[in-house]
Amino acid sequence: GALLALSKPPGLPILGRPGDLSLDVLLPALRRRLGLAAELHVVKAPAREYSGLVLLSSCYHTTKKLQQFFTNARQRGQYPATYRAITVGVPAEMEGEICTGLCWQQQGDRAMVVPVPAPGRRSVARKDVKITLTRYRMLSAVGGCAFLQLQPRTAFPEQLQVHLTLLLCPALGDHEHSSHVGRVLGVPFFLTPETAPTHTQVLDEELLSRLGLSPRQLHHLPLHIHLQELVLP
């Protein structure tokens, strides 16, 4: 019918600045190639850094109906979006939930998403902090890495990356938040953003060898979080 699903590579934004490559810029060419009469609208799509499912619609009413469904599903405690992630580190528990406050915080000349473990009622009421929740389940683990299923119940920028660092298992290719997980004698612990400046993710030599990468190539490693499945009404 009106729906079209694509698989987006990591690094492609949905909306971009004028002159930049983005999904929005590509939609008219896609419409012509498929011979569609109506314009295509984005119903649901992963963030720029993520890969995975993009759901498009050629019907405005279908778009609005489905977007409302996704909003209502989160409010009802359902999990219509399922992600998969590869992490550096293995969670202590096979499955569980990560619940924390998240907010934007200025770090020098840039804004970062940071966790707020015990936010005050006023900050939540003012919407300075949002309470966020992600359910996770480990599907497999090998060589110090894990393959996780992630189901966010809330929506906040970089929520999945921050939640994985709180599990002490940052996503492979996370050059934004992985520096907040430190290690002493092989035991991981959480570092606050104020004490851990952002840098390219550090991987041990064995993992680098298995990935076929040199340390100089690491900053090209994409974020391994993938929107795997969307449940529709």
Same domain, 74 and 89: no
Out of 45, 78, 111, a domain closes at 78
Q: Are strands 81-88 and 225-230 parallel, antiparallel or unpaired?
A: antiparallel
Same domain, 93 and 69: no
- The enclosing domain of 30 has a CATH number of 3.30.70
Same domain, 111 and 204: yes
The per-residue pLDDT for range 113-125, each reduced to its tens digit, is 999 988 888 888 8
Out of 78, 108, 130, a domain closes at 78
The closest of 167, 153, 164, 156 to 81, measured between CA atoms, is 153
The per-residue pLDDT for range 133-163, each reduced to its tens digit, is 999 999 999 989 999 999 999 999 999 999 9
Same domain, 144 and 175: yes
pTM: 0.92
Same domain, 92 and 160: yes
Same domain, 210 and 185: yes
Domain count, the chain: 2
pLDDT at 233: 85
Q: Which residue has 């550096």 as its token pair? A: 88
Same domain, 219 and 176: yes
Q: Which residues contact 131 (CB under 8 A, 6 or more apart)?
A: 99, 100, 101, 119, 124, 154
The per-residue pLDDT for range 58-82, each reduced to its tens digit, is 999 999 999 999 989 888 888 999 9
Same domain, 94 and 192: yes
Instruction: Answer yes or no: is pLDDT of 17 > 90.
Output: no
Same domain, 68 and 98: no
Same domain, 112 and 222: yes
Contact status, residue 45 vs residue 55, Cβ threshold 8 Å: yes
The closest of 190, 77, 91 to 140, measured between CA atoms, is 91
Range of the domain at 197: 82-230
Same domain, 89 and 166: yes
Out of 55, 78, 101, a domain closes at 78
What are the distances in angstroms from CA 211 to CA 146, 171, 189? 15, 15, 25
Tell me the residue type at 162. Answer: V
Same domain, 98 and 190: yes
